[in-house]
Structures are given as C-alpha cells and as structure tokens.
Structure 1
Amino acid sequence: MTGDVQVGKSTIISRVVAELGVPVSGFRTVAVAGEDGESDIFLIPAAGTRDDCTPASLLARRTPGKLPEVHAGVFVSRGVPLLTECPGPLIVMDELGWMEGSSFLFQEAVFSVLDGTVPVLGVVRDRRLPFLDAVRGHPEVEVLVVTRESREEMQGFVLRVMRERLGA
C-alpha cells in the first residue's frame, strides 16, 4: 500500500493481521515521541510491541529542523534477520522508505522475500527513489493507493485478498 502520511496504511495492516489470526514475520517501524519535539524510529518485529523498541532497534532519531540521524546498520543487524528467519505464513513490511537507500543487504533481503512464495503485506513510501521504484515495479507487487476516503473499503479488499492468498 502507499498513500499520504497518517492516512491509515499501518492501521489497515494491523487490522487485517488481527482479523486473519495468523502468525506474521517481517518488520514494522514505530515512532516514539521524545522530548523537545524529537522522535525515535525503531525497526521491530511485525508482531512486536513497544517493548521491542530498544537501543539495538533504534533506526533513526528525528530532531525538529534537522535531517533525521539514521542508523543504517540496523537494517542489516535487525531488518535482514526479520525478513529471512522464520518466514510465513504472512510477511509484513511496514514500511519501506528512503532510509534504506544505502542498505543494499537489506534491499536484497526485501527482493528475496518478494521473489518468494509467502504473501507480503506492506507499505511503500510514495517517493520516487530507485529502491522504492524497483519495489513498486516488482512483478509480484500490486500497489494499492490508500486515501482517507478509501481506507475502510481498502481494508476489506486487502482482507479478502490475503484470505485468498493464504487459503483461509
């Protein structure tokens, strides 16, 4: 899925996964607000909780008025194992964005998953970058645009598609 920030893409994933009731692997990113307008972004297991937001999973720190401080090594130390260990029956990638641009091992893991047989439910940032363009252009990827007006309908559609792909 793709769409504007805060339109409900991650909420759709959470609701669909809960409705399906199947174990998931993969990852999701979680932003945690800090002091003085700062926020930290963590890369955690798809089925993880805020307890998984540890220093080892700190992906980036956003400070108002500055570019985010990205810890790209987390894509390899945490992201690659989350995509390659214990896959299935559903893999979540929430979300792929610009920070992965120089993490080629992580990108390779993403494409390996997309080339596989396990269904993927994910979010791709709506930006024109080589990695994101390649993800959207992958032959196994169907891009769904989520808007505020379509998000409820989109949730039902995604649930039907995932049930079909999982044979549930």
Structure 2
Amino acid sequence: MPKVLLTGKPGTGKTTLIKKVIEELKRETGGFYTEEIRERDKRVGFKIKSLNGEEGILAHINVRSKFRVGKYGVNIEDLERVGILAIKEAMEGDKLIVMDEIGRMELYSKKFQQQVLSCLESNRSLLGTIQDRHNEFLDKIRKREDVTIIRVTPKNRDLLLPQIIRLFRKNAN
C-alpha cells in the first residue's frame, strides 16, 4: 500500500493537494489535519481536527505548556485525544489514512510518534504531510523505503495531482 508524504515550505499547497487527491480517489478516509486559528487576521494558534469531526486545540498563544513552538504552547492532551484516536480509527477500517501534518508540535508526544510508526508499519495506505525540517524522528520516517516523499513547490503543485493519483491507483489492487 502506498505511503505518500508531501513536504515543502508553508503555503505551497500541500493541504490543498491532499484535499484534491481525496476528492479524486473517492475513497473512505480517516485521520486528521491541522488548521490555523485566526483572530483579527492574526494567527493565534492551531486546531487539530479528525476527519470524523472531533477537534481540539493543538497549540495556542494562550496555552500554558512546557512544550512550546515559538510563541505557541502545545496542548499534548488534545493532540493525543484527537490525533491518536483518529489514526487508530482509520487503521481499523480499510480507509486511506490522512495525517496533515507530522511536524514539530506533534513531536512532543511519544505516544503520537508511536502511533505514526504503527501506521507506517501497517499495510494501510497513507497520505500526509511531513514538515520540511530535520530531527531524528522526521528523518527516520524519510529514510523508510516504503515511504514516498514528494516535494511541493508553487511551480510543481498543479502537476503533482495525476502523479499522486497514479501511485494510489497502481497499488489499489
């Protein structure tokens, strides 16, 4: 089963591309995505949302936490409650697992990392994003032979949809 992770700079269209792939494949999906929280046109945090409707605060300027990414306090409880459960539920069915994203905030939870690795070890299809940074966990994922990493740029993003669709359709049987 294909395991495809998109990477690239913020704002290059990774999440939009994932949504287009899901729409085109017409497969049942499970998993999670992250979304900005904005107040008065300023980003103040991030939500984590499962594809079945659960949501929580992943990080926020008002979250008090020993885990921080820049000005944001990371909410490990909601990450584990929403993110881990979403991955587990997606793995139970024959769903395309969506993880948007595997990044710095998510790396503060060992339980979350274990769930990501469990998903990678499974025979399930995965479509997600991986932050364009280097650390031990992210590099371990990138080095896996069963993971295809695709770099998304403003120049290539519109050309990648057919390529990604082919990867999933070729391995659907």
Work out whether the TM-score is over 0.5.
yes
- Larger deviation, residues 115-124 vs 137-146: 137-146
- Counterpart of 2:67 in structure 1 is none
**2:88 matched to which residue of 1?**
84
1:44 to 28, 42, 49: 49
- Provide structure 2 residue ranges, at least 5 long, that are not aligned to the other structure: 1-5, 63-69
Normalised to the residue count of structure 1, the TM-score between the two structures is 0.86
Whether 1:3 aligns to 2:3 is no
- Aligned-pair identity in percent equals 30
Code of the residue aligned with 1:77 in structure 2: it is: R
More helix by share: 1
CA 1:20/1:39 → structure 2, altered by over 3 Å: closer, same or farther? same
Give yes or no for the alignment of 1:68 onto 2:68: no
CA shift, 1:152, in A, is: 1.2
Give 1:16's match in structure 2, choosing from 17, 21, 28.
Answer: 21
**Partner letter of residue 125 of structure 2?**
P
Of residues 30, 34, 45 in structure 2, which corresponds to 1:29?
34
Name which of 124, 131, 137 aligns with 1:131.
137
**Structure 1: any 5+ residue segments left out of the alignment?**
none
Q: d(CA) in 2 for partners of 1:86 and 1:144?
A: 23
AA at the equivalent of 1:118 = R
Contact 1:32–1:41 at 8 Å: present in 2 too?
Answer: yes
Compute the displacement of 1:78 (Å). 1.3
Which deviates more, 114-123 or 33-42?
33-42
Change (3 A) 1:2 1:121: same
Distance 1:46 1:136 in 2: 25
State the Cα deviation string for residues 1-32 of structure 1 (Å, max 9, x = none).
Answer: 10111001111100010111111011111112
How many residues align structurally?
A: 159
4+ residue runs of structure 1 moved beyond 6 angstroms? Answer: none
TM-score by length of 2: 0.84
1:138 match: secondary structure: coil
- SS of the equivalent of 1:110 reads helix
Alignment pair present for 1:98 and 2:97: no
Kindly indicate which of the two structures has a greater share of residues assigned to strand. Answer: 2
Distance 1:38 1:62, change over 3 A: farther
